[in-house]
Amino acid sequence: MPNRELHENLPWVEKYRPQNLDQVYGQQETIQTIRKFAQDGRIPHLLFYGPPGSGKTSTIIALAREIYGKNYRNMVLELNASDDRGIDIVRDQIKNFASTRQIFSSGFKLVILDEADAMTNTAQNALRRIIEKYTKNTRFCILANYAHKINPALMSRCTRFRFSPLAISAIEERVDTVIKEEKLKIEKPAEKCLVALSKGDMRKALNVLQACAAALDKPEDTISVDMIYECVGAPRPKSIEVILNAIMERDWTDSYSVMNKIRKTEGLALIDLIEGFMDILAKYELKPLTRIKMIQGLGDIEYGISKGGSDKIQSTAVIGCIKNALENEA
């Protein structure tokens, strides 16, 4: 059965995409409200914003399925603002779509515009005019990661919904289901670790799980904590601790070589290392001023990295900043 095979080869984020609004976890209030809009037949233009993997695309597609059923393909246009080359193409596609006569059903057509915050300001202004032009028979749903990247004029034409990162329990429940469906073996701590590292991003959780499953030598092998860390590319807490302790207790040369060695073998980015330090610093007993100095220093370095500072200089600065702060303790 070729169809079945196709299904088997799907990425899990697609295979396990919610089929209806009831299967969307977490975003209860949003879902209640938009369902009400749909029942009353009075859908406004919508803006969904919030972090990746929180269910924005899934929610609007599920809503559209509820509204249109079999007519989905005639009534819904899905566009990706960041894929398509420029607003002209978007405009043409919307024009073609919105101006074809509806043969099968009445009511509004729906345009879903994903990743709209990737559009330039000019393009967003053009989009606002397009929305106005077709408001008579078309509703727009704009999806974005950041509300502040959406032009205010465009924003004011939409009813806004914020999607929050998903709760640990929601991710855990979904991951559990997938583990059962895929007949995976995974250590309990590995599952906990996967859920924690995905930080509310369901797409990340499912992608990492699938990558780990694919990396098993034999399908009946068990997924371990180490495999999870490897797939996420996140530093292991143990390594972070070893590096921090070396910097605190040993001289410059040793500190530098411990840090470099672990970073090389585990492929750690300096930025992840700094985040890791921040996470575990709470466990260390330090004078308040020492802690403040350390955190301020690490914060500055993090900013320096984001501005494109050299890795070598910034990593040396990390050691310097921690050692400098510790002078207080003496």
Ligand X SMILES: Nc1ncnc2c1ncn2[C@@H]1O[C@H](COP(=O)(O)OP(=O)(O)O)[C@@H](O)[C@H]1O
Contacting residues toward ligand X, per CB under 6 A: 13, 16-18, 24-27, 52-58, 166, 174, 202-203, 206
Instruction: Encode 31-52: b = buried (16+ Cβ within 10 Å), e = exposed.
Output: beebeebeeeeebebbbbbbbe
Nearest distance, CB of residue 111 and ligand X, angstroms: 16
Q: Which is nearer to ligand X, 54 or 290 (CB)?
A: 54
Q: Which does 97 bind (CB under 5 to 8 A by kind): Mg ion, ligand X, none?
A: none
- Please state, in angstroms and as integers, the Cα–Cα distance from residue 38 to each residue in 16, 114, 163, 204, following that order: 24, 20, 19, 30
Choose the contact partner of 235 out of ligand X, Mg ion, none; CB within 5 to 8 A by kind.
none
Least separation in angstroms between residue 112's CB and ligand X is 10
For residues 172 and 64, give the distance between their C-alpha atoms in angstroms, rounded to a whole number. Answer: 27
Return d(Cα 138, Cα 43) in angstroms, integer: 10
User: Smaller CB distance to ligand X: residue 58 or 255?
Assistant: 58
Strand partners, 111: 77, 140
Q: Which is nearer to Mg ion, 45 or 323 (CB)?
A: 45
Nearer Cβ to Mg ion, position 94 or 142? Answer: 142
Nearer to ligand X, 117 or 302 (CB): 117
Residue 151 binding result from Mg ion, ligand X, none, given CB thresholds of 5 to 8 Å by partner type: none
Q: How far is the CB of 58 from Mg ion (least distance, A)?
A: 8
Nearer to Mg ion, 57 or 151 (CB): 57
The least CB distance from residue 52 to Mg ion, in Å, is 7
Short-list 34, 11, 4, CA closest to 21: 34
Q: How far is CA 248 from CA 235, 243, 281, 286, 319, in A?
A: 19, 9, 12, 12, 9
- Of the residues 57, 59, 210, 239, which one makes contact with Mg ion according to CB under 5 A: 57
Which residues are within 8 A (CB) of 222 and not within 5 positions of it... i.e. 6 or more apart? 185, 186, 187
Shortest approach of ligand X to residue 256 CB, angstroms? 40
Helix segments in 182-310, DSSP class H? 188-197, 202-215, 225-232, 237-249, 252-266, 270-281, 288-306
* Partner touching 18 among Mg ion, ligand X, none, CB below 5 to 8 Å by kind: ligand X
Query: Using CB atoms, what's the residue nearest to ligand X?
Result: 55
- Cβ(84)–Cβ(90) under 8 Å? yes
Instruction: Choose among ligand X, Mg ion, none what residue 24 binds, the Cβ cut-off being 5 to 8 Å by kind.
Output: ligand X
Among Mg ion, ligand X, none, partner that 116 touches (CB below 5 to 8 angstroms by kind):
none
Task: Give the residues lining the site for Mg ion (CB under 5 A).
Answer: 57
